[in-house]
Amino acid sequence: MTSRVTADVLARLAGLDLTADDLTRLDGDLDRLLVAIDALPPADPDPPEAPIARSTPAAPPPPIAVALAPCHVPRVIGEP
Amino acid sequence: MNPRVDRPAPTTRAVVERHLARITADDHGAWITLDADAALARADALDARRAAGEALGPLAGLTVALKDNIMTRALPTTCGSRLLADPLAAPLAAPLAYDATVVTRLLAADAIVLGKTNLDAFGMGSSTEHGPAPARNPHDPTRTAGGSSGGSAAAVAAGHCHAALGSDTGGSVRQPAAFCGLVGLAPTYGRVSRFGLVAHASSLDRIGPLAADVRTCAAFYAAIAGPDPRDATTADRPVDRPLFPAAARLDGLRVGCPPLPFDPSPAVVAAHAAALDRLTALGATLTAIALPSLPHALAAYRALAAAEAASNLARFDTVRYGRRVEAPTYPATVAAGRAAGFGPEVRRRILLGTHLLTAGHAALDRARALRRRLTAEHHAALDTVDLIVTPTAPTVAFPLGARRDDPLALARSDAYTVAPSLAGLPALSLPAPAGTLPVGLQLIARPFDEATLLCTAAALEDHP
């Protein structure tokens, strides 16, 4: 597992004044959570960044269409 | 005569009064703030405009609930957290408050906002048990309504309102919709403005509607979607109009079916198989596809969301707003206030994110790489099929309290929903044929192809 500082140090970094009981519980939770994250496959090298294409502003969109069918009545649970 | 269509139209006031009466009878833990007087006043104004022959908006007379992490000028926004709910602290209310863009658009469409709904604090959780009180599933009050938009889902499923808005970071609209037997849509990342949404994980957060049927969900989606100059992450693209042919078939639709990791329950497997049979019967073609990175999606999501959450929540220092605990120094005041205000799940994510952001970034690099691979795999699959279908969650709604304090078990209910979240793809959950408890079917489409999602869902809904 990735080495890590204890929950009390992380709590100070994060601006949280927690009790000893809270910190003990969080240390256990962090260990469990990090097992799954540490099992992620290794990262490939980042691909080279593609140049950012400059685009011209698109035309303003048409008004938002109404999706209701002409005779649609919303279903409400509990009503006939 | 179709009694639903041809019965005399009730007044908007009568509709609102009926919904408010249901809330009073049993609120299912769905609500944080009700705005009954304003809703009734707005109903009267709509009735007067209708009587005067005025043209009304597309959502006229429809009631809606807002997840309480969506800013409203008239009502406090608590995010379901003690840090913002303390009546002695200044809540996010006037003059700091404003209407989110989605709220402005709902009001412009003449919808009636009934109030703000319950959630896991700051949208962090999958059961709506990490807020002021648990939201109960109307199908079985001993079970969760899902989360983090569980209050929105419970409100719609209990018949309190026609629709609700939720926010979806890793499945928080779709999973509650699945657990409560509703339709829930997470639109493409960039399709709906997030101006006024309190941020959880900014590269993942989306706002989407929940409703009891596809067409109502589509109507609310159409009302809120589209570019917004106040949110630079919205896409400058027009919104397609979803069409709902009367007897829609799905001839020619190509549906991709990946292997299903995460050991779905027998009830989910059976409902998923029945839904695939319905798709085939309607003319769709099923194709096996590969998403090799899917089993790792949950771990990558957890890392990225926690890192972003730790950063986003750093702004809540309790100095300008929120619960303040006085201490001798400024850092001590901040630390004491944050510790008193943030609950266990939020603290857990902040500490996990703080670790990942300070531990050399190797784990985050792996999570980012996995996200790129997963996105590429989805796009490659969607080059050959029109939709990808999975269950929405591996199980039905679980009992309240069963996973509340176990973060790994809790997150497992998001196993299938986090993948389209990481890829930014539109995804919709709709009820699949199931037994006593609802099961959700998740449809995933190409970017900005919400129309295919909604039309397919409508066809399935019309041919149960």
* Percentage of residues of chain B with pLDDT beyond 90: 82
Q: Which of B21-25, B91-95, B230-234, B385-389 has the lowest mean pLDDT?
A: B91-95
| CA-wise closest residue to B279 among B177, B426, B389 | B389
Mean pLDDT of chain B: 92
Rg for chain B, CA atoms, rounded:
21
Indicate the pLDDT class of residue B62, thresholds 50, 70 and 90. Answer: very high
The pLDDT of residue B249 is 85
A38–B348: do the CB atoms touch at under 8 Å? no
Indicate the pLDDT class of residue A61, thresholds 50, 70 and 90. Answer: very low
Query: What pairs with residue B143 in β-bridges?
Result: B399
DSSP state of B127: S
3-state helix, strand and coil shares in percent for chain A, rounded to the nearest 5: 35, 0, 65
The whole-angstrom separation of Cα B91 and Cα B84 is 5
* Range 102-141 of B in CB contact (< 8 A) with A: 138
Judge whether residue B282 has pLDDT over 90: yes
> Catalytic residues of B, which ones?
67, 148, 172
Residues of A in contact with B310 (CB under 8 A): 14
First to last CA, chain B: 22
Average pLDDT over residues A29-39: 88
Judge whether residue A51 has pLDDT over 70: no
A10–B351: do the CB atoms touch at under 8 Å? yes
Q: To which residue do tokens 């944050």 refer?
A: B338
The nearest CA of chain B is from the CA of A52 a distance in Å of 16
Judge whether residue B446 has pLDDT over 70: yes
* Percentage of residues of chain B with pLDDT beyond 70: 94
Judge whether residue A69 has pLDDT over 80: no
The whole-angstrom separation of Cα A35 and Cα A37 is 6
Judge whether residue B190 has pLDDT over 90: yes
From residue B147, how far is each of B49, B101, B176, B322 by CA, in Å?
A: 38, 23, 5, 24
Q: Which of B345-349, B357-361, B416-420 has the lowest mean pLDDT?
A: B357-361
Q: Which of B69-78, B82-91, B334-343 has the lowest mean pLDDT?
A: B82-91
* Range 13-32 of A in CB contact (< 8 A) with B: 13-18, 22, 25-26, 29-30, 32
Q: Which of B222, B336, B368 sits opposite A65 (nearest CB)?
A: B222
**B66: contact with A, CB 8 A cutoff:** no
First to last CA, chain A: 57
ipTM above 0.85, yes or no: no
For B149-158, the pLDDT digits (tens) are 999 999 999 9
H-helix or E-strand spanning residue B33: strand B31-34
The whole-angstrom separation of Cα B14 and Cα B424 is 40
Q: For B281, phi and psi rounded to 5 degrees? A: -65, -30
Judge whether residue B7 has pLDDT over 60: no
Spell out the long-range contacts of B88-93 with Cβ–Cβ below 8 A and sequence spacing 24 or more: B88/B323, B89/B318, B89/B321, B89/B322, B89/B323, B89/B324, B90/B320, B90/B321, B90/B322, B91/B321, B92/B198, B92/B321
Judge whether residue A57 has pLDDT over 80: no
Q: Is the dihedral of CA B358, B360, B366, B371 positive or negative?
A: positive
Which one is predicted more confidently, B3 or B294?
A: B294
| CA-wise closest residue to B369 among A35, A45, A34, A52 | A45
Average pLDDT over residues A30-38: 88
The pLDDT of residue B287 is 96
B454–A64: do the CB atoms touch at under 8 Å? no
Judge whether residue B392 has pLDDT over 60: yes
Average pLDDT over residues B288-293: 96
Judge whether residue B1 has pLDDT over 90: no
Mutate to test the interface with B, among A40, A46, A55, A79 (most CBs of B within 10 A): A40
Average pLDDT over residues B332-351: 94
For B192-234, the pLDDT digits (tens) are 999 999 999 999 999 999 999 999 999 999 999 999 999 999 9
* Range 176-215 of B in CB contact (< 8 A) with A: 181, 211-213, 215
